[in-house]
Structure 1
Amino acid sequence: MADEVEIKLATGDDAPQVLKFLRQAATESDAVTVPHLAQVTVDQEKQNIDLINQFDDCVIMLAMLGEEILGIVTVMVLESQPTAGELGVVVAKKYWRNGIGRLLVEEAEYWFDNYSSLESLVLTVFTTNTPAIKLYQGCHFVQTGTTTEEGRPALVMEYRPAE
């Protein structure tokens, strides 16, 4: 059904749409911090997605409404902590506060619990992004520290599912 949101694993074929979505999202929110986004080519993005799909410690999933990307969730290994994955969630502004972010976070948690080789799932969120903080808290993330991202205060949170 075209009016139902579907979560799917991103493939290299999704690269043009993923880049277009991320570039648009970066104009809608200052929380979208993808390095060198403007310089990434479709071929590079295709290679990135294909490479990510070869490993069990990182993932890119898309929330789709028909052919339209509504949101993206990623889990990428932290260079400083090879057993930790960093969660990233981006939802198109016109779909904010419609449960898409929660759907993506829950899907990433399911992947982490059932398929990943990672030991922990972490994220960083700007302290000013109250809706996101509430979402993460409601999805079993707890604050484990504070940091500064892009010169702004941020919380460090870790996924701690109920036992």
Structure 2
Amino acid sequence: MKKYKLKNGIIVTLREGNGKDARRVIEYIQRVAGESDNLSFGEGEFNTTVEEETAFIETCKTLDNCIFLIAEHRGRIIGCLTFSGGNRSRLEHYGEFGVSVLKRYWGLGLGRMLIEYLIEWARKTGIIKKINLKVKSDNTRAVNLYEELGFIMEGTISRFFYHKGRFHDVYVMGLEIE
């Protein structure tokens, strides 16, 4: 557990999730899904049960190449990051993350803090050698952040998202961990 100060001065706690967080995580995800067009799911599309979410979070805790991060302010979840590495020996070093932040906290450095925590954790594992992500090509703020953190552009997947009557490409970006 670590405490951080955001650009607006509020103190945020970053910590690894546990099964007891499942219901609040689902409520958070349902809210954030309606606030952003940059996620792979929209409002009403996250239909995971509390039992399924509990199992996912608890399984993540048992694996050396998986992390489930929660950002809280005054006991309220305001951001999440999940990273999962491969489940075979040839792929355990390689994984992908997803990150989300409540709209009210955009632009305050919370996404950066979550990703920096992930990078630090990955280095400490001794297992993770590559962190990957997919980002909508028109999400320039996120692309710029990832580049600032050392991620490099590795390719484009066309027509990855279909939203509001049009297709959206995604960039595939990666960071090698030494």
Q: TM-score, normalised by structure 1?
A: 0.89
Q: What is the aligned-residue RMSD (CA, Å)?
A: 2.3
Q: Find the structure with the greater CA-based Rg.
A: 2
Distance 1:118 1:145 in 2: 21
Paired AA for residue 133 in structure 1: V
The answer (yes or no) to whether the contact 1:7–1:63 under 8 Å persists in 2 is yes
* Partner SS, residue 39 of structure 1: coil
Paired AA for residue 45 in structure 1: E
Alignment partner of 1:45 out of 45, 48, 53:
53
The answer (yes or no) to whether the contact 2:29–2:46 under 8 Å persists in 1 is no
Paired AA for residue 33 in structure 2: A
Percent pairwise identity? 29
CA change 1:43–1:116 in 2 (3 A) is farther
The alignment status of 1:129 with 2:130, answered yes or no, reads no
Cα deviation, residue 116, structure 1: 5.5
Distance 1:55 1:37 in 2: 27
Cα deviation, residue 118, structure 1: 2.3
Structure 2 partner of 1:92: 102
Cα deviation, residue 37, structure 1: 4.8
Output aligned runs, 1:37-76, within 5 Å.
Answer: 37-76=45-84
Structure 2 partner of 1:112: 122
116-125 vs 67-76, greater mean Cα deviation: 116-125
Distance 2:27 2:173 in 1: 29
Cα deviation, residue 145, structure 1: 1.0
- Unmatched segments (≥5 aa) in structure 1: none
The answer (yes or no) to whether the contact 1:78–1:86 under 8 Å persists in 2 is no
Cα deviation, residue 65, structure 1: 0.8
Alignment partner of 1:16 out of 17, 23, 26:
23
Which protein is richer in helix relative to its size? 1
Distance 1:134 1:99 in 2: 13
Distance 1:38 1:72 in 2: 15
